[in-house]
Amino acid sequence: MTVRCILALLFSTAHLFSTGMPQSASKAAETPEAAIRGFIYALYSNNAADFRKWTVDDPGREELLGKQHSTAEQIAGLRREVDRMDLTQVAPFTTGGKQVKVEGTAKFQTGTKTIYSTGFRGNLLAIPMVYTESGWKADVRFWLAAIKEAREPQRRAGPEAVAKAFLYYILAKQPQKLAPLSAAPIRGEDYTEANHLPGGDLDQILSLCIEMALVRARAGESFRMPSGEIIRSDPKGETMILVGMLGVSEVAFQLKRIGAEWKIVPQKYFEMLRSAGAI
């Protein structure tokens, strides 16, 4: 999802004033679908209490809410729209970076994650979900980061710039620019040789890469890298993990400080994104 789409969603005059929850989301959030409907309804109804209920507790999250009021007819229309939303799970359930399968009435482990996509009022939305002690919640940190990045001049230094540049040069098939960004000696061609994207597709993907907002991983959060290695975020460690959303796919980056510079632990991101159907 591009920054433009996020901003179109967040600041649309179609945000409404709440009078209640949609019927399909009235139950406890034991399914991600119910939580997503509750989240979207709360977001568009500007209901702060319900919004907090359906989202992971991130600083500033209520900035996503608008201040508009609505008529009873508009409220009823919103309820119908949310109940009719088509939700597609675009990432498997993972716990600790490992894919898990939950069958029947089995409970999810706290920290289990997945991603859904949906189209709502002309916007394609990627909605990361996290299972917490109080049920499924929407993870809006990427949306908040996108707003912040849209407001501030793009940073040309630091770990975020290094991570985004490494992915960009892989997708743009510029292998000669990869080695200076790498924390270990590499042959750049090894990371771009699988890239045979046609020009039209490439232009769109590069635009998504440029607009991709990155966030710092939460303490203890784990990710499976393209190499198959599972890495875990440790704020006291010597590495940093950044996470972004390219379209509807989560992309994790591991960086190390070498001297005064941040360098990336190289990964074959093209193959990972291709296998996930993201490009």
Of the residues 112, 129, 146, the one at which a domain ends: 146
Task: Identify the band that residue 104 occupies on the pLDDT scale cut at 50, 70 and 90.
Answer: low
For residues 69 and 159, state if they share a domain: no
For residues 50 and 168, state if they share a domain: no
pLDDT of residue 29: 60
Apex 159 CA angle, 154 and 161, nearest 5: 35
For residues 160 and 258, state if they share a domain: yes
For residues 17 and 136, state if they share a domain: yes
Express each pLDDT in 200-235 by its tens digit: 778 888 888 988 989 999 999 999 999 999 999 998
User: Which residue has tokens 């892989």?
Assistant: 170
Of the residues 106, 125, 146, the one at which a domain ends: 146
Apex 162 CA angle, 160 and 163, nearest 5: 65
pLDDT of residue 19: 34
The CATH number for 205's domain is 3.10.450
For residues 164 and 106, state if they share a domain: no
pLDDT of residue 208: 86
pLDDT of residue 269: 97
Checking if the pLDDT of 4 tops 60, the result is no
Checking if the pLDDT of 152 tops 90, the result is no
Checking if the pLDDT of 17 tops 90, the result is no
Of the residues 146, 170, 201, the one at which a domain ends: 146
As a whole-number percent, the residues of the chain with pLDDT over 90 amount to 62
For residues 131 and 237, state if they share a domain: no
What is the distance between the alpha carbons of residues 272 and 259, in angstroms, rounded to a whole number?
A: 30
Q: Give the tokens for residue 19.
A: 């009078």
For residues 181 and 205, state if they share a domain: yes
Checking if the pLDDT of 20 tops 90, the result is no
In sequence order, the 6+-apart residues with CB closer than 8 A to the CB of 167 are: 209, 212, 246, 251, 253, 269
Express each pLDDT in 116-125 by its tens digit: 999 998 888 9
What is the distance between the alpha carbons of residues 226 and 133, in angstroms, rounded to a whole number?
A: 29
As a whole-number percent, the residues of the chain with pLDDT over 70 amount to 87
For residues 97 and 13, state if they share a domain: yes
pLDDT of residue 186: 98
Express each pLDDT in 235-254 by its tens digit: 887 899 999 999 889 999 99
Give the domain range for residue 242: 153-275
Checking if the pLDDT of 128 tops 90, the result is yes
Structurally, how many domains does the chain consist of? 2
What is the distance between the alpha carbons of residues 8 and 239, in angstroms, rounded to a whole number?
A: 35
Task: Identify the band that residue 6 occupies on the pLDDT scale cut at 50, 70 and 90.
Answer: very low
For residues 184 and 127, state if they share a domain: no
Apex 229 CA angle, 225 and 233, nearest 5: 75
What is the distance between the alpha carbons of residues 79 and 22, in angstroms, rounded to a whole number?
A: 5
What is the distance between the alpha carbons of residues 266 and 253, in angstroms, rounded to a whole number?
A: 9
| Mean pLDDT computed over every residue of the chain | 86
Express each pLDDT in 42-93 by its tens digit: 999 888 999 999 999 998 999 999 888 778 888 889 999 999 999 999 999 9
pLDDT of residue 154: 61
158 or 8, higher pLDDT: 158
> Residue 121 in contact with residue 15, Cβ under 8 Å?
no
For residues 17 and 103, state if they share a domain: yes
For residues 90 and 169, state if they share a domain: no
Predicted TM-score (pTM) of this structure:
0.85
pLDDT of residue 155: 63
pLDDT of residue 8: 46
For residues 198 and 243, state if they share a domain: yes
What is the distance between the alpha carbons of residues 226 and 240, in angstroms, rounded to a whole number?
A: 17
Checking if the pLDDT of 15 tops 80, the result is no
What is the distance between the alpha carbons of residues 6 and 1, in angstroms, rounded to a whole number?
A: 7
